[in-house]
Structure 1
Amino acid sequence: MILRKPLNLYKAVFFDVGDTLMTIPAARVIMQQFLAARSLHRAEEEVGDLFTEAFRLFYYGRQLDPFEVCTPESDRAFWMKLYHYILDKLGVQEENWTDERIHQCCHGLYDLFTGPEAYQLFDDVSECIPNLQARGLQLGIISNFAPTLPDILQKKGIAHYFDPIIVSTLVGLEKPDPAIFKLALEQSGLLAEDVLYIGDHDRNDIWAPNQVGIDAVKIKRYDYHSGEGIHTLHELLQA
Structure 2
Amino acid sequence: MLRKPLKAYKAIFFDVGDTLLTIPAARSIMREYLASRSLHRDEVRIGELFTEAFRLFYYGKPLDAFEVCTPESDRAFWVKLYRYILLKLDVHEEQWTEEQLDECSSEMYDLFTSPEQYALFDDVQDSIAALKQQGYHLGIISNFAPTLASILKHKGILHYFDPVIVSTEVGLEKPDPAIFRLALERSELAPEDVLYIGDHDRNDIWAPAQAGIDAVKIKRYDYHSGEGIHSLRELLAM
TM-score interval (norm. to shorter)? over 0.9
Q: Secondary structure at the match of 1:169?
A: helix
Q: Secondary structure at the match of 1:198?
A: strand
Q: Which amino acid aligns with 2:227?
A: E
Q: Which amino acid aligns with 2:78?
A: W
Residue equivalent to 2:184 = 185
Give the whole-Å Cα distance in 1 for the aligned partners of 2:235 and 2:52: 31
Q: Which amino acid aligns with 1:6?
A: P
Give the whole-Å Cα distance in 1 for the aligned partners of 2:227 and 2:111: 33
Higher helix share: 2
The Cα shift of 1:73 comes to 0.3
Q: Secondary structure at the match of 1:111?
A: helix
Q: Secondary structure at the match of 1:117?
A: helix
Residue equivalent to 2:98 = 99
Residue equivalent to 1:13 = 12
**1:124-149: per-residue Cα shift (whole Å, max 9, x none)?**
00110000011110000000000000
The Cα shift of 1:65 comes to 5.6
**1:74-100: per-residue Cα shift (whole Å, max 9, x none)?**
000000110011001000012100000
Residue equivalent to 2:79 = 80
Give the whole-Å Cα distance in 1 for the aligned partners of 2:40 and 2:64: 37
**1:11-70: per-residue Cα shift (whole Å, max 9, x none)?**
000000000000000000000000000000011111111111111221222225645210
Q: Secondary structure at the match of 1:19?
A: coil
Residue equivalent to 2:232 = 233
Q: Secondary structure at the match of 1:54?
A: helix
**1:156-205: per-residue Cα shift (whole Å, max 9, x none)?**
10000000000000000000000000000000000000000000000000
Q: Secondary structure at the match of 2:212?
A: coil
Give the whole-Å Cα distance in 1 for the aligned partners of 2:63 and 2:91: 29
Residue equivalent to 2:197 = 198
Residue equivalent to 2:212 = 213
Q: Secondary structure at the match of 2:165?
A: strand
Residue equivalent to 1:139 = 138
Aligned length: 238
Query: Any stretches of 5+ residues in structure 2 without a counterpart?
Result: none
Select between 207-216 and 47-56 the one with higher mean Cα deviation: 47-56
Give the whole-Å Cα distance in 1 for the aligned partners of 2:6 and 2:175: 24
Query: Any stretches of 5+ residues in structure 1 without a counterpart?
Result: none
Give the whole-Å Cα distance in 2 for the aligned partners of 1:104 and 1:206: 36
Structure 1 residues 60 and 96: alpha-carbon distance in aligned structure 2, compared to 1, 3 A threshold: same
Residue equivalent to 2:69 = 70
Select between 104-113 and 45-54 the one with higher mean Cα deviation: 45-54
Residue equivalent to 2:163 = 164
Q: Which amino acid aligns with 2:79?
A: M
Give the whole-Å Cα distance in 2 for the aligned partners of 1:109 and 1:24: 13
The Cα shift of 1:117 comes to 0.6
Q: Which amino acid aligns with 1:128?
A: S
Identity of aligned residues (%): 73
Q: Which amino acid aligns with 2:205?
A: I
Give the whole-Å Cα distance in 2 for the aligned partners of 1:169 and 1:229: 28
Q: Secondary structure at the match of 2:55?
A: helix
Residue equivalent to 1:151 = 150
CA RMSD of aligned residues (A): 0.9
Q: Secondary structure at the match of 2:162?
A: strand
Residue equivalent to 1:58 = 57
Q: TM-score, normalised by structure 1?
A: 0.98
Give the whole-Å Cα distance in 2 for the aligned partners of 1:209 and 1:98: 43
Moved over 4 A (4+): none
Give the whole-Å Cα distance in 1 for the aligned partners of 2:134 and 2:217: 21
Residue equivalent to 1:45 = 44
Give the whole-Å Cα distance in 2 for the aligned partners of 1:66 and 1:132: 35
